[in-house]
Each structure stands twice: as C-alpha cells, then as structure tokens.
Amino acid sequence: MQHQDIDEGNDDLFEHHSFKATKGQEPLRVDKFLMNFIENATRNKIQKAAKDGNIYVNGDPVKQNYKVKAGDEVKVLLEYPPYENLLTPEDIPLDIVYEDDSLLVVNKPAGMVVHPGHGNYSGTLINALIYHFDNLPNNSSERPGLVHRIDKDTSGLLVIAKTESAMTYLSKQFFHKTSKREYIALVWGNVSEEEGTIEGNIGRNPKNRLQNMVYEGDDAEYGKPAITHFKVLESLGYVTLISCQLETGRTHQIRVHMKHIGHTLFNDERYGGHKILKGTTFSKYKQFVDNCFKVLPRQALHAKTLAFEHPVTKEWMEFNSEIPEDMQTCIEKWQNYSKNSVHKI
C-alpha cells in the first residue's frame, strides 16, 4: 500500500477524529470501529468517507472492511466540519471571579460542559464566552480562549485567555507544570496515608470507551504520563475528604487515579462511585447514602484553587472558590454520620 499525505486533496474536508487502538482492541472493521467512537456520525457518512479514500490507518487510506488492530492510528476526514467547530454565541450568565485586559477567571457550575462536542453542542462555556467576549484567541484545538478544561460535572475555576500572547504565556505554564491547580474531592473508603503521589499513565479503557484507565508496565506506552498529589483533609469513616494537586491535566485524571488506588470518587457514575462501595449492610445506612446521592447528583469533585503568573504583570495570582452548596451539604451529612455512628472503620 502506497503512503499518501492526508493533507492533500479536497480543501472542504476536515479531520474530525483521530484514535489509537489500544492493546486490548480485537480485530474490528474500521467502519464499525469508528461508529463505536464517533457519536455524531452516521454509518452512511463513515462508509462514504471510506469509499472516497478519506479514512486512514497509520497514514494510509483503507476500505471500510479493513480490520483495525491494536496499535493502529485511525483518522477520518469528513465533508463537513465537526459540530464542535460550528460555534453559536449564547447569552448564558458567567460567574466571573476576576477580569482584566489579558484574561478572566470563571467559576464553572457543575453540569456545564466546557466546550462543544460528544452530543453537547450548545449551552457550553465556550458558547457563553463568545457571546460575552469578541475575538478570543484560539488554542491549539481551535477553541476560543480555552487554556485548560474541567469535566462537565466538576465545578470550579478556569482561566480564559483574552489575547494571543496571554494564551501562549498561560498555556506554557500549564505545559511546564508551573501553574497550581488544587481540587477538593470526596472519595469512597478510608484513605490510610495522610498524603501521597499517584503516578500512572492514563489512556482510554479498551473495554469501555467512556472511561479512561491507568496503563502500567509494558502497557504504559498506551497512556500519557499523569501525576496527582493528594492529601487527606478529613476521614469520615466510609468516605474521605481529600485535596488533590495536579502536575498534569489528563482527561478524568483525578477520577481515574483515585479509582486506581481503590478510592473511587463519591457518586462518580462513570467509574462506579454511584454504588455503595464501603459501609454496612444496614438498611438505614443504604437510605443515608441514597440521600447523599440525591443531594449531590454528580461526582464529588471541585476545582477549588487556581494560581498562575500573570502574562503581563508577571505577578503570581491565586484564586479560590467556595465548595458549592450541593457538595458542601453532602460533606456535612457525612461529617454528622461519622460523628454519630458507631459503625466506623
């Protein structure tokens, strides 16, 4: 098969997606492989891309019946730009903690997606930003103003660049790990160590495409390096309140790392934390936990502290946000339970 440059050809084509098949990938037709990963694409659209020679594996065009195997790099170009590039300004209120000519710091509520994609093409932070601010600079992924991101159901602080120079300066700090990001999390189980560091490469889980996982040993090449520092703030019997400081910013990093060491985030449905993972068999305890789930219908994770060097003044700036009411109420319920319960670990 002759290698072709995927950038040649129709200028109206857009590279929507790029995937690397992980070690656990069993041979699978490339059209079916892509249908498993691309939520907003139809089978007809993918098959047409294959027929037109616009699906590439390891840089070479393939037909729709090509069998994807572990380690393959799969890219697909389609005739229309991805939905996430079709940005529509929306008049959505923003909780702005700080603003100047170079940047702003916003406090994102839980439930708001940061940028369009994967079925969320409106109501995102980006939709709000481009309504309230003109000419925000694009990052390397063509997302206006965005220096970093947090998950939909994680609340907390984000810094947004308003100029090209601010985007470059701030992005370098995140890349070189000189910025500070501290999160508060409630996790299942009694974390025995007062503090520690989790190092483990993170990549997509081949058995569940919606999850990421830690790859170790010979499999480490399938993930990207990730480092999380944690410290116990309060032991509450069957759960523990911790702070986490990130050196890297991988997708779901805290959620994946804490699950990896046996302490899944409380009510993190994607990683199994929405089930009772620690505790007693008493029905009153089950009812108590169910009430906590209702109070906090999301993973217990909040981006509390954000600090960085200002791109113009070079001043070190640190911002803190209050733990939101839903998470604070849940924590208080566990504090009261731990204080009054005789069923402690």
Catalytic residue among 151, 153, 268, 326: 151
CA distances (Å), 76 to each of 6, 70, 119, 296, in order? 10, 17, 18, 39
Indicate if 12 belongs to the active site.
no
* Straight-line distance from the first to the last Cα atom of the chain, in angstroms, rounded to the nearest whole number: 62
Extract the tokens encoding 77: 């170009």
- Number of other CB atoms surrounding residue 282 within 10 Å: 11
For residue 123, the one-letter residue type is G
The SS3 call for residue 212 is: strand
In this structure, which long-range contacts are made by residues 171-178, counting pairs with CB atoms below 8 Å and at least 24 apart in sequence?
171/139, 171/140, 171/147, 173/308, 173/309, 174/147, 174/148, 174/249, 177/247, 177/248, 178/308, 178/309
Extract the tokens encoding 26: 């069993």
Q: Which residues contact 163 (CB under 8 A, 6 or more apart)?
A: 101, 102, 137, 311
- CA separation for the pair 39, 147 (Å, rounded): 25
Alpha helices, DSSP H, located in 102-260: 125-132, 164-175, 253-260
Extract the tokens encoding 278: 């620690």
- Number of other CB atoms surrounding residue 337 within 10 Å: 20
227-241: string of b/e by CB count within 10 Å (b at 16+)? bbebebeebbbbbbb
- CA separation for the pair 222, 187 (Å, rounded): 27
Task: Estimate the share of the chain in helix, then strand, then coil, as percent rounded to the nearest 5.
Answer: 25, 30, 45
Is the distance from CB of 240 to CB of 189 less than 8 angstroms? yes
- CA separation for the pair 315, 142 (Å, rounded): 28
Which residues are tagged catalytic? 151
